[in-house]
Amino acid sequence: MSDTKQQVAFFFDANRCTGCRTCEVACKVENGVELGPRWRKVRTVEGDQDGGPYMYHVSMSCNHCEVPVCAEACPSGAITKRSDGIVIVDQSKCIGARLCAWACPYDAPQFSAETGKMEKCNFCSHRIDAGTGGPACAEACPTKALQWGTLDEVAAKQGATAEFGPLPDADITQPAIRFIPLKLVRS
Amino acid sequence: METRDWSLVVFTVLTQAAVGAFLTLQVLEYLAARRGPGESGRATDNPRDSSPASAGAQGGEPEAGNARESGRAMASAAPAGRRTPAPLLVVLAVLSAGLFAALFHLSTPLQAARAVVNFSSSWLSREIVFGSLFAALLGALVAQEWRAASSEAVGSVQGRRAPTPGTASPPEGRRRIGPEPANPTSQAPATWLHRLTAAAGLAFLGCQTAIYLLPAQPAWNSFATPAGFGGTALRLGILGVAAGLVVRSLTAGVDEPAQADPIGGGGTSAAPLRGLALAGIAALALEFVVVPLHLASLAANPLPAAAASVERLTGDYGGVLVLRLGLLGAAAAALGGVLAISRRPFAPARPTGSSAQRLAFPLTCGAFALTAASEVCGRFLFYAMQVRVGI
């Protein structure tokens, strides 16, 4: 990623994710996230369509939305959006009102019982700022189901969509993530 | 619902009750002022009182004059015209207790002052600013009432020491029940400070409501949130004032029997209490419209989170919902009793109060207590039914 002034974004391909949770572990290790809060979560979606069952996994964290409702709701101004689009929490300003957790449709802000503050994915901004790489979760994904880039880059991938079945309407916050939905194959 | 959300139950119910009570007092004050001094007609046996108000009283219209007097009594908290900051002080205490309870929702209460930093976009910041402003203005009003009451008391003592030539003293055992001689400062029905305080209270209530209109929370992002919060303010405000009025009528009755019945203003009418009871029943009935409509709108919502909220309301917490509505129904029945006993003017008050007056106490205060319990249940349900959209 050469231009850090462009909105950064995640990319997720539901057809590639095996649910191994390597992304979750990489996030925990890289950011030293204690037991309890989960900055990234892998969830499993099950259903039935045209008489056939299906199941797939979704890896989600903060989507660093273009309209960060968490930052709008936060009364103490602890949540801000950087010029490269990364939404960060300044824990020294957080008062633990948890309004961000109510406002976020993606359950991204997590409460830390240890610090009494909110915390969430910071897109591994320390790595980006140091030029040592991107988000640890995406770089650790063994199947490349989870990737990262600028919003323009990930949106240009073939078949990428902003809306994704089980997720809230993208118009609410305009999340900086694009998806390749599961392609159901009938036997 | 998380344990810490109970602080929000206490915070929202108490502060909404405070806003509702203040607005109810202002409406009563306004209604009292509209009748004007010329219509002030409650019968007075105080021949000293040669004010235009009492002059009008002699000419009839006891009902209107009584309503005016009782309205002012409630608004200024004084039975039969004597001003006291007591009711506004109670409202301020309730508001302060609510604001204090909100601190327990924060993980770091010592940093609570930071909650106003994001005023430009956060409804919670705006809520705290307007809540604090409401409390400060209310405090100023209490101070103003206090000064007015003090000056009236001094004037009253001086008046007794030097009766107006040509007037007689009141009969033995009876005290004046008409208004005190007009005091333009203390009897101003609605000053700019009252209006500003009312506006701050409404803004506070509006901001408190807007916090919960979140697209991520279908159960909250609904007409039911403003209807519920506004309904709580109406119900607890109206019934709180009515209960305060009845309590005051009994406590004032021992040493001032003629003033013991501010409901009827010395035993001529029960119109103000009747009006409050009617308004209270209407406010209670509002919830019986809001709850089914809210459930229907959630059931019609295609989002799974909305369906999950309905399941919580009717399943896990169905008993609490039934209890809430049952308590409201019981409160409405008690208010129906108040209407029944106030159908005709109360009998002249005795030192222990008239029978209707004595019955008004358990009915009115019972209705208030039942409603308060119901509002706590309702607010518990409000937080418990929260289900976020998405996975």
Tell me the nearest-neighbour CA distance from B261 into chain A, angstroms: 47
Which residue is listed with tokens 């989002």?
B303
* pLDDT at residue B359 in the model: 85
* pLDDT at residue B221 in the model: 96
CA B149 to CA A48: how far, in whole Å? 74
Residues of A in contact with B215 (CB under 8 A): 69, 105, 168-169, 172
Helix, strand, coil content of chain A in percent (nearest 5): 20, 25, 55
* pLDDT at residue B175 in the model: 38
Most confident of A155-169, B222-236, B271-285: B222-236
% pLDDT > 70, chain B:
70
Q: Does B388 touch chain A (CB under 8 A)?
A: yes
Higher pLDDT, B93 or B175: B93
Of the residues B117, B118, B382, the best mutation for testing chain A's interface (the one with the most A CB atoms within 10 Å of its CB) is B118
What is the enclosing helix (H) or strand (E) of B173?
Answer: none
For residue B294, give Cα distances in angstroms to B17, B222, B313.
22, 8, 11
CA A68 to CA B125: how far, in whole Å? 17
Tell me: pLDDT of B177 over 50: no
User: Out of 3.40.50.300, 3.40.50.720, 3.40.640.10, 3.30.70.20, which CATH number does the structure's domain A8-180 have?
Assistant: 3.30.70.20
Contact between chains at B388 and A105 (C-beta distance less than 8 A): yes
Q: What SS3 state is found at B268?
A: coil
Q: Which of A61, A51, A53, A57 is nearest to A28 (CA)?
A: A61
% pLDDT > 70, chain A:
96
Q: Which of B211, B230, B231, B229 is nearest to B221 (CA)?
A: B211
CA B285 to CA B262: how far, in whole Å? 27
* pLDDT at residue A72 in the model: 97
Q: Does B214 touch chain A (CB under 8 A)?
A: yes
* pLDDT at residue B261 in the model: 42
Indicate if the alpha-carbon torsion angle B116, B118, B119, B125 is positive or negative: negative
Tell me: pLDDT of B38 over 90: no
Contact between chains at B118 and A74 (C-beta distance less than 8 A): yes
B77 Cβ partners below 8 Å, 6+ apart?
B83, B84, B85, B86, B87, B88, B145, B244, B248
Q: Does A75 touch chain B (CB under 8 A)?
A: yes
Kindly state the tokens that stand for B368: 């208030």
Which residue is listed with tokens 């909650």?
B115
* Arithmetic mean of pLDDT, A15-24: 97
Q: What is the ipTM of this complex?
A: 0.91
Tell me the nearest-neighbour CA distance from A80 into chain B, angstroms: 11
**Rg for chain B (alpha carbons), in Å?**
23
Tell me: pLDDT of B182 over 60: no
For residue B222, give Cα distances in angstroms to A100, A166, B211, B218.
19, 22, 12, 7
Instruction: Note the pLDDT tens digit of each residue in B141-171.
Output: 999 988 888 877 676 666 555 544 444 444 4
Nearest residue of chain A to residue B303 (CA atoms)? A168
- Domain boundaries along the sequence of chain A: 8-180
pLDDT band for position B52 (cuts 50, 70, 90)? very low
Nearest residue of chain A to residue B388 (CA atoms)? A105
* pLDDT at residue B250 in the model: 75
* pLDDT at residue B2 in the model: 77
Nearest residue of chain A to residue B387 (CA atoms)? A102
Instruction: Note the pLDDT tens digit of each residue in B124-143.
Output: 999 999 999 999 999 999 99
DSSP state of B315: I
Kindly state the tokens that stand for B133: 């402003």
Higher pLDDT, A173 or B43: A173
| Residue A56, strand partner residues | A45
| Residue B95, strand partner residues | none
Phi/psi of residue B126, nearest 5 degrees? -65, -40
* Arithmetic mean of pLDDT, B357-366: 87
Phi/psi of residue A80, nearest 5 degrees? -135, 165
What is the enclosing helix (H) or strand (E) of B195?
Answer: helix B192-211
Q: Does B210 touch chain A (CB under 8 A)?
A: no
Kindly state the tokens that stand for B39: 């219509």
CA B20 to CA B70: how far, in whole Å? 19
* pLDDT at residue B190 in the model: 60
